[in-house]
Amino acid sequence: MKIVITGVTKGLGRALAEEFIRGGHTIIGCGRSGEAILDLRMTYHPPHDFSVVDVGLDTKVSIWAARTIENEAAPDLLINNAAVMNRLAPLWEQDDREFTRLVDANIRGVQNVIRHFVPSMVKAGKGVIVNLSSGWGRSVSPEVAPYCMSKWAIEGLTKALAEELPKGMAAVPLNPGVIDTDMLRSCWADGAAGHPKAEEWARIAAPFILKLGPRDNGQSLTVG
C-alpha cells in the first residue's frame, strides 16, 4: 500500500510511518525539519521517500504532490498528521502571529494537502483520507483555544469532504487518543508520562487505520 503522511519527523507521525514500514507498506512522508528528514532518508531507502515540506505553503505542497503522484500513482491512504500546539495562555493573550502560524499548519496545511493529492485519488476511484483530529476537536479546555478551534475545524472539514467523495472512498476525522508526545508534554508537563509512548500507540493505530474503508466515511472515530 502507498501511504502519504505529513509531519513524519517526530511524535505520532514518525512512529506511525515506521510501523507502516515494518508492515511492508511504502511511505511517502514530509516534515519541516531537514535534519530529521535526512535521518529518515538514510534509514529507509526507496521506494520510501521523505521530503522537507511546510504544509502551510501551498506552492511547496503542490511541488511535493506533483512529484509523488507522477505517472498517476495516487496514494491508497493519505494521513494529514502535521500540526502544532499553541502557547498555553488565555485566548486574549494569543497574538496574531502565533494564531496565524497555528491556522497555517493545522487547517490550511490539511486543505493544501487535500487540494493536491485527493484529485488523483478521486480519479482512481479509491482511497482513504485520514485527518488527525483530537479529543480537543470534540471538547474544549482552557488555554488551548486556538488548538481546539483548529481541531473542531478538522472535524467539520472532514465530514463535509466525506459527503463530496465518490462512492468507494472515505474521509475520516480520527482522534488518536492521549499519547505521551512533546506536544502533550507542552500542555501537561510530567503528567504526560502516564500515557502510552508514540511507538506503543502506533502498534495499535497502524492496523486500526489500515482497516478503515468506505463504511467509515464521515465517521468521527478514535483509535482503540
Q: 37-42 long-range contacts, Cβ below 8 Å, gap at least 24? A: 37/9, 40/8, 40/9, 40/14
Give the strand pairing for 26-31 and 49-52. Answer: parallel
- Once rounded to an integer, what is the mean pLDDT over residues 137-142? 96
- Once rounded to an integer, what is the mean pLDDT over residues 118-134? 97
Closest C-alpha among 28, 75, 73, 78 to residue 53: 28
- Once rounded to an integer, what is the mean pLDDT over residues 140-154? 97
CA distance 64 to 57: 11
pLDDT at 179 (0 to 100) = 84
pLDDT digits (tens, 9 = 90+) for 60-70: 999 999 999 98
Q: How confident is the model at residue 160 (pLDDT cuts 50, 70, 90)?
A: very high
Please identify which residue in the block is written with the cell numbers 511492508.
24
Task: Provide the mean pLDDT of the chain.
Answer: 94
Length of the chain: 224
pLDDT at 190 (0 to 100) = 60
- The reply to whether 44 belongs to the active site is no
Query: 184 is written with which cell numbers?
Result: 502533550
pLDDT at 221 (0 to 100) = 98
- Across the chain, where does the E strand assignment appear? 2-6, 26-31, 49-52, 77-80, 127-132, 169-175, 221-222
pLDDT digits (tens, 9 = 90+) for 168-220: 999 999 999 988 656 645 555 565 556 689 999 999 999 999 999 999 999 99
The pLDDT > 70 percentage for the chain reads: 92
Given 147, 171, 202, 217, the catalytic residue: 147
Domains of the chain: 2-175+201-222 (3.40.50.720)
Please identify which residue in the block is written with the cell numbers 526507496.
46
Query: 176 is written with which cell numbers?
Result: 488518536
pLDDT at 189 (0 to 100) = 55
Closest C-alpha among 182, 206, 181 to residue 195: 181
pLDDT digits (tens, 9 = 90+) for 61-112: 999 999 999 866 899 999 999 999 999 999 999 999 999 999 999 999 999 9
CA distance 213 to 127: 8
CA distance 129 to 119: 12
Look up residue 91 and give its DSSP letter: G
- Across 49-191, where does the E strand assignment appear? 49-52, 77-80, 127-132, 169-175
